Structure 1
């Protein structure tokens, strides 16, 4: 080969090393050019495996079916020479020369007589080789040709390295894009039943696997929570001990992924009958360092996965674990909201019902359902005689199979009543109170809750399970709420029975209940001074006020009036006050507080009853007050300066609560200047009468307020009450009088 031809051919050859092509396409073009340049019969490109055990033909020209052919590299002396000499080597008799070693059968198969092997060295590592194959007759290559081969080999190695880098970068870009899309898809669902199959669906878009599953860690082992593929050795939701799953146990203990190239070569891998799994990856699902489960990735052929895919699987598992954690939190919040709604409805039923049997049965039914128990019993307890009376029992089994016994004197019920404490028995067969089968009455777990008013035990609520049961903190909290509701029912019924004979005595008790719900003291809020009072009339009404202490530098104020004059009205007042306070803690918007309270009240408020409520939210220091009104008198705005006194009417509906369930209440925000006051009052003040029946009225109220600009709230309150008393001239109020005065102040700086 002449030097001019060499340069021409080399120039042509260099144009083939186009990094825009994929690696296989580029190397096929290189093989074709080598055949033409050196006038040989065939050229091939061989890449070595990770451990130089075998090589893989990735390109050839002309095509003879050698692509994807695996060539053993052990017992191949020529390869060892390539590693040390790093230059082209030729073999005249490729079929018989000992240098060809284990490659001689391949040479015979392809009919190759002579061969030149050109090393491909990338970053000082032998990664593969080029071959110039002569089939027709043996051939000796000249030193010039071998030198040209060396130059070509170096150029190809550079091109291979560059193209591989481009392909790796592109693969990383595609991987990042895929993981971003996976994260987007997974973030769209918070349903645990939906998110688990979705995770496996997205996994198969990232990693080419034959099967996959999610094992979630729980009591006693793991459960298959989701599965994808053709082989399912374990039933869904079946708990399997970690002792029977070496791979899962090891991943959870080490908190790191495990890759098995061939499961049949691992002595601790347990192969289930008919399992096609030959390669496996186990990746921990971790949230804040705690392993909650494992992602199993299955291949049905050996060595289907490599270290690169482990890195991808880890990145994917991190996103999957967060999605599972968020879905669990959402389910817990949803369940807790449902439980609290049920408890709230029971509380409302208790507040408006005095039928003890009906209320206790409602509590028992809620316990049975919400705690997923098999039976509940409520006993009334007489501490003086130390005796019990069964008030109600409910069960989920055939009533004929349930034997209700009088509590043993040394049993769980008696101990709960005497101690006033909860007693939980997760497994009766392991507890000293139950030493015989007869004592258990067929139950496996029991918890007893005292029904208490203060320190006095009024009864005992027992919950039974037909299997051993570990009581969670959420279950204990729920049971405490339900036991409190039952205790309230017992107390309400007892009060009712004691006072039912005398109307006056009933009204006195109602007044006591009413007063019991007033705040013991007025909370403080920076930037405000507040004074409040509720004066019951001779015959009990339903006025009340309440403060809702919040954690966001705001204070809620409830001023209300319940229709009617009885214990039922007082109970309705308590329910309304409790609901507004609860919703005031949940929501910042007064309009939403009023709307939600009205919806709940409408479920159980007796026909013809209602609650007039005004709700205000005071913000610390800023002077902002947000108001919503449902049937209550509009508050007075008393400016400190000589500006008109205003009645602050909120927009929208003003209908009292408990009448129309879907009523929506609006709200209005105002800002008070320093010294300005806001005065809330019920109709008992405005409708105070004198001996002639004339009303104290709005105009007299405004006249008195004109003299009180900038005055402290207590002064405003006392002056208004004194003015009404003077006007009435000894005639007592026919209705409750409630006054709440709030003045904006600015704390003076200390010099």
Structure 2
């Protein structure tokens, strides 16, 4: 028994049902513990299926050595599907062997063996002994480095490519896992067989060194590109954090109290700054109060968009005190912004003035979704009539914005939303859309305004089902409570 090859010894012990660490003599136990499972499992020339089943059962038992990872019990299978000429043609295409003579490539083809693998099968594991290289005939091979917290995909190789080539020239452990994606067929070249051929054909070593040097340079270039991408991403994240602070600072800290109105607002920012903002302008006249409502969305993201938000908010507030009519406020805002902003950036904006004493609202919209009105008397919803000019602010200089006045009744609620509500997407790419928005507003129209807004956001959240929002979601509700 001592003179038998380790794999054959293990096979014998498994067949004879003697393979158990507590009853084996120390020599045979050591023989098994030093075996590489990828030399055993699935090799039909050496092991039959009952032996494989025995090993698999052992690997999942409490007696399995702690340093043998259970993921190594895989179903890679030895096969013979390729002719020698097909192997030669494949190896000749690899940069590793391209400059070798046809005779030498043929020698390498003769020592290669074919292995089939299924999706998720490990060809090799990080930390295991590197005793061979693999050439991908078809399928893909995912190169992965794992830690306790995450799995990092280093590369995904596909035919014709190769992996594990460093094992041919050194005896270092594997630096990563090699996992089959889908069904795969691979050629395996063992280090021992390769060294035998190098002794006969020394030029192989020179060619391998050149190819490895080229691959190392390519890896270094890829790492450099990834580093630059990560650094750029870090700069963008830093900019977005600054922009986020600017955006949050623009939102009103207090909802104003206006006699005859119930007012609430909410804005859920996306992971990236989307440009939404809202604000209130309070007009205290001797005989009555009026409320000006600003809802805006700046195109673009980052600090530039946040700065435009701040400028736009200041201009609209200032012009609201200079002009009574919302259309005039829009015209003045457009003249200011089109002079001083980047032509590629624009502002979707609506400005509405509520007058509780007359139960009216006068509004104009430039690219914002039309206000949706819940009518208490009929328990129905309808959109406010459209103003004629709806082009976003900052797009055209010679343009005049008009306005519309709508009569309301006590108990009616006017809902304003940004396109982040209407254009919210679920994982299948479907839009939340106007129809769902109208249905939920009709359902919650009788709720207190703060509860109604929460219910709308909850409905959107259910629809997107965990999908990452691509834009801010802003809602404002104003209920007419009476004169």
CA contact 2:426–2:467 (8 Å) conserved in 1: yes
Cα distance between partner residues in 2 of 1:645 and 1:581: 30
**Corresponding position of 1:460:** none
Cα distance between partner residues in 2 of 1:528 and 1:636: 17
Cα distance between partner residues in 1 of 2:373 and 2:428: 30
Offset of 1:733 from its aligned partner?
A: 1.4
**SS of 2:476 mapped into structure 1:** strand
Choose from 236, 243, 264 the match for 1:503.
236
Cα distance between partner residues in 2 of 1:640 and 1:715: 16
Cα distance between partner residues in 1 of 2:244 and 2:330: 25
Is 2:249 the counterpart of 1:513?
Answer: no
**Corresponding position of 1:98:** none
Offset of 1:625 from its aligned partner?
A: 0.6
Unaligned runs of 5+ in 1: 1-498
**SS of 2:279 mapped into structure 1:** strand
Cα distance between partner residues in 1 of 2:386 and 2:447: 25
**Corresponding position of 1:669:** 405
Is 2:307 the counterpart of 1:574?
Answer: no
**SS of 1:522 mapped into structure 2:** coil
Is 2:450 the counterpart of 1:717?
Answer: no
CA contact 1:527–1:622 (8 Å) conserved in 2: no
Choose from 368, 372, 377 the match for 1:632.
368
Cα-to-partner distance string for 1:428-476 (whole Å, 9 max, x where unaligned) = xxxxxxxxxxxxxxxxxxxxxxxxxxxxxxxxxxxxxxxxxxxxxxxxx
Choose from 311, 319, 328 the match for 1:583.
319
**Corresponding position of 2:341:** 605
CA contact 1:650–1:666 (8 Å) conserved in 2: no
From the CA coordinates, give the structure whose radius of gyration is larger. Answer: 1
CA contact 2:379–2:442 (8 Å) conserved in 1: no
Higher relative CO (Cα under 8 Å, sequence separation at least 6) belongs to 2
Cα-to-partner distance string for 1:468-526 (whole Å, 9 max, x where unaligned) = xxxxxxxxxxxxxxxxxxxxxxxxxxxxxxx9971101001101101101111111111
Unaligned runs of 5+ in 2: 1-231
Is 2:299 the counterpart of 1:563?
Answer: yes
**Corresponding position of 2:275:** 542
**SS of 1:720 mapped into structure 2:** helix
**Corresponding position of 1:524:** 257
**SS of 1:508 mapped into structure 2:** helix
**Corresponding position of 1:736:** 472
Cα distance between partner residues in 2 of 1:593 and 1:627: 10
Cα distance between partner residues in 1 of 2:388 and 2:433: 25
**Corresponding position of 2:72:** none
Cα-to-partner distance string for 1:108-138 (whole Å, 9 max, x where unaligned) = xxxxxxxxxxxxxxxxxxxxxxxxxxxxxxx
Cα distance between partner residues in 2 of 1:685 and 1:512: 22
**Corresponding position of 1:654:** 390
**SS of 2:264 mapped into structure 1:** strand
Offset of 1:711 from its aligned partner?
A: 2.3
Cα distance between partner residues in 2 of 1:672 and 1:713: 16
**Corresponding position of 1:727:** 463
Report 1:349-498 matches (<5 A). none
CA contact 1:627–1:650 (8 Å) conserved in 2: no
Please report the RMSD computed on the Cα atoms of aligned residues, expressed in angstroms: 1.6
CA contact 1:639–1:710 (8 Å) conserved in 2: no
**Corresponding position of 1:245:** none
Is 2:330 the counterpart of 1:594?
Answer: yes
Q: From the superposition, tell whether residues 604 and 742 of structure 1 become closer, same or farther in structure 2 (CA, over 3 Å).
A: same
Cα distance between partner residues in 2 of 1:583 and 1:551: 16
Cα distance between partner residues in 1 of 2:338 and 2:300: 16
Cα distance between partner residues in 1 of 2:368 and 2:343: 20
Q: From the superposition, tell whether residues 526 and 505 of structure 1 become closer, same or farther in structure 2 (CA, over 3 Å).
A: same
**SS of 2:332 mapped into structure 1:** helix
Report 1:274-293 matches (<5 A). none
Cα-to-partner distance string for 1:632-690 (whole Å, 9 max, x where unaligned) = 11010111122541111332110000111221100011121111000000000011111
TM value normalised by structure 2: 0.50
**SS of 1:550 mapped into structure 2:** strand
Moved over 6 A (4+): none
Report 1:172-211 matches (<5 A). none
**SS of 2:441 mapped into structure 1:** helix
Cα distance between partner residues in 1 of 2:377 and 2:451: 17
Q: From the superposition, tell whether residues 501 and 694 of structure 1 become closer, same or farther in structure 2 (CA, over 3 Å).
A: closer
Cα distance between partner residues in 2 of 1:631 and 1:700: 21
Report 1:19-38 matches (<5 A). none
Aligned residues: 249
Q: From the superposition, tell whether residues 534 and 651 of structure 1 become closer, same or farther in structure 2 (CA, over 3 Å).
A: same
CA contact 1:526–1:621 (8 Å) conserved in 2: no
**Corresponding position of 1:707:** 443
CA contact 1:683–1:737 (8 Å) conserved in 2: yes
Cα distance between partner residues in 2 of 1:561 and 1:649: 21
Cα-to-partner distance string for 1:236-271 (whole Å, 9 max, x where unaligned) = xxxxxxxxxxxxxxxxxxxxxxxxxxxxxxxxxxxx
Cα distance between partner residues in 2 of 1:709 and 1:504: 39
CA contact 2:356–2:480 (8 Å) conserved in 1: no
Cα-to-partner distance string for 1:398-432 (whole Å, 9 max, x where unaligned) = xxxxxxxxxxxxxxxxxxxxxxxxxxxxxxxxxxx
Cα-to-partner distance string for 1:700-737 (whole Å, 9 max, x where unaligned) = 11111121233221121011000000111111311000
**SS of 1:530 mapped into structure 2:** strand
